[in-house]
Structure 1
Amino acid sequence: MICRMWHGITLRAKADAYAALLEERAQTGYRAVPGNISACVLRRDEGEITHFMTLSYWASEASIRAFAGDDVLVARYFPEDADFLLEFEPQVQHYTVTTALGGG
């Protein structure tokens, strides 16, 4: 299993709206791709800015390629991101998951 990690920063005043947009994408965009296991969005408010970290879990690099394209480390952005993000980080990070504990 591979964890794909993306980081973005927005103004705190726009954070609630951006969180809703990310939630919608996590539920529809990621889950629509075969091989996506799950996705979650983390949020940290820090003064006037808010950090978001999206963690998506994938069965294989091939499944990530179906979502992100041939260069799997390039960050994928949507047109709406221009209304929220303060910068556009060019790459994501991938980690091989070595241990996963089930919830419940």
Structure 2
Amino acid sequence: MICRIWHGITPRAKADAYAAFLERRAVPDYRSVSGNRDVAVLRRDEAELTHFLTVTHWDSEESIRAFAGDELLKARYYPEDRDYLLEFEPLVQHFVVTAFEHSG
């Protein structure tokens, strides 16, 4: 299993709207791809900025490729992100999951 982590920063004043956008648009998009196991959107408010992380788990590089394209570490953005994000980090991080437990 592979964990893919993306980071973005918005102005604090736009953070609630961006969180709603991610829930409405990005999460269903991730979940629609075969091989996506789960999605978590994390938020941290700091003074005038808000940081977001999307943390996703995938079965394989092939399943990530179906979502992100052939450049596996290239960040994928939506056109609407221009309305919220202060910068566009070019890359995401991938980690091989060595232990994972899900209670459910």
Q: Please give the alpha-carbon distance, in whole angstroms, between the structure 2 residues aligned to 1:26 and 1:37.
A: 14
Q: Please give the alpha-carbon distance, in whole angstroms, between the structure 2 residues aligned to 1:10 and 1:27.
A: 18
Partner of 1:4: 4
Matched length: 104
Q: Please give the alpha-carbon distance, in whole angstroms, between the structure 1 residues aligned to 2:39 and 2:27.
A: 8
Q: Please give the alpha-carbon distance, in whole angstroms, between the structure 2 residues aligned to 1:48 and 1:27.
A: 25
Compute the TM-score of the two structures, normalised by the length of structure 1: 0.97
Compute the TM-score of the two structures, normalised by the length of structure 2: 0.97
The runs of 4+ residues in structure 1 deviating greater than 2 Å are none
Give the aligned residue type for 1:64.
Answer: I
> Please, which runs of 5 or more residues in structure 1 have no aligned partner?
none
Superposition RMSD on alpha carbons, in Å?
0.8
> Please, which runs of 5 or more residues in structure 2 have no aligned partner?
none
Q: Please give the alpha-carbon distance, in whole angstroms, between the structure 2 residues aligned to 1:61 and 1:25.
A: 23
Q: Please give the alpha-carbon distance, in whole angstroms, between the structure 1 residues aligned to 2:19 and 2:12.
A: 11
- Quote the sequence identity (%): 66
State the 1:26 CA deviation. Answer: 4.1
